[in-house]
Structure 1
Amino acid sequence: MPASDPDIDAESDSATTDDPAYPSDRNVLEPDCARCPALTENRECISWGTGDLDADVVVVGEAPGHGNPDADPWQGGNWTGKAYTSRHSGRRIRQIVEGIGYGDDAYYTNAVKCFPADPDDPTTNREPTPEERANCRTHLLTELEEVDPAVVLATGKHATKTVLAAEDRTLEGFIDSVLEPVWCEQLDVWLVPILHPSYQDVWIGRLGYDPEEYLEAIGETLDEHCGSGVGG
């Protein structure tokens, strides 16, 4: 979830018009977690990870958005308690992952599990604070340990920075990092940054892809690194 994520209508999705599979369960790590007072006060639900605990790919977002309680069923993790179940971003990233053949081999989560409400507008997200990221990082590390994926697919700049922070590394130039795999020695996993689904229509062309080529590039990158160790 990027800061000030626009409320873009899912009907504009370019990946496919078919709905992806909707998750039926979630991986609850700490019921009623209250590590972050501001997040605890403003959330509806903790947005826990969903998917196969034996998955080769873990898809990581930044944090759930406010969501839409009237959507059916894509209300968003803030209302469903399940990561990446929003009408736009959740549905789109799941379409992408299914479309490249990893729909049954992916686990979805966020670096921060609760909706970070903007104090001036509680229906709009703000960027999580460094303390909130740090408080929640152990949840993400637990998920990565439990799933033990081959690849972390980080959606957007903020998710990529958070994963790198677990490696004590920083990010310089997100756009240049897209689809450039990075071996994370401490996490024992490949990190593959991709565009956040809310912004991909804007940036795909600037990266030199059309939508179909972009999806093919994601699929080829995952195929190359799933099951491979350091060095490919």
Structure 2
Amino acid sequence: METTFSALSSFAVIPLKTFRRYVLSYEIVPLALCKTLGGSPLLSVKELSSICSVGGIDKKDIVLELSASKVAPSGFVPLSQLKTAWFVSEEAKANFIDRSYENFDVTALRCAALPEPVASSPAQDHPELTDVCDDAVNKFLAEAPYADGILALAHQWLSVHDNQRDMASIENVLSDDLNTLGLLLSLESGSEQLVLASEFLRLCTRKNIDVGWAPAAVLDEFTELSPVRLPSLKTSEYGQVRLQSS
């Protein structure tokens, strides 16, 4: 396969682990989780070529060739804009393709190996990438489940209702997380259920699954924080639930 980059493309360098775990799962490229050059997550063909010429791409990274030319306000690039996934070697490409991915067909991706680096040159002769900071990763991990839940609620509603008015309402408020949550939950829930669901969702977003869950502690905290009393959860029932989650 030809290993030349398109001059019309932009490029993002992202850890391969992040690509497998989040990009393939959500089918978006979170630019906040990409390495940067001069503060920008998108590289030009000239910048990438310079880095590649001296082997400046880490073996644990992958280069994404994108049709996007600038950073979107959302900070995400849809996977549909991925033109080619560039690996540091043929071996790395083969290992990626040979792995099994439950929720994604990797044969749908165009994969290639980066060109071999030329003779090494002094560090000052080529740009160096800046690693992703932990704060950016933690922020994404906290927000992704929330956004995922919003989309799931919207999909569930739209898949069983054929109401153009409700569909228009959902589209109008998708840019506002709190309004979106309130609208979607209120379509099916009473006021108490809405409050409980909202509080539990906020609690869940602060305890993302990547850092591990302590179910009993989550249940205790939810009970303390909830502004609505839980009349259907008797003391004995609460104890049983807590024991099962311990």
Q: Which of 1 and 2 has greater Rg? A: 2
TM-score (normalizing by structure 2): 0.26
